[in-house]
Structure 1
């Protein structure tokens, strides 16, 4: 199964859970600490899955950039004629 299919399955199960918690609230009353905790946990799970779905959509929609091939041929040394060797100072000067 793909990630999208799995997330859809999880969302469907969470919807069933929320409906079941609603029926429990009607039978037990919504004032008890335990049922409020279960309701809050179910809502938190629903929000977490929604965030996960949004992150998955963002990740799959952004393609990896195309790879750039770097040739094995040596670089043109004339590119570095005006630069100093890093950390060694200029070529015509001596280190102290």
Structure 2
């Protein structure tokens, strides 16, 4: 293929993409107007707030430092 053929193919693909995006926008605006209202806000009841206070150090007494091994032994 010549460079001109490649350019024409890209233009056709871009035109097709533009038409499809416009069609999707029309469908989306049609559905929004049919419902007569905006989409409901997302449900945030499943969200958990994490406090800024530090964790209890007793939680970490039997843990290993990642990549360093056990606390009572030397790292490799």
TM over 0.5: no
Scaled by the length of structure 2, the TM-score of the pair is 0.41
More helix by share: 1
Larger radius of gyration: 1
Scaled by the length of structure 1, the TM-score of the pair is 0.35
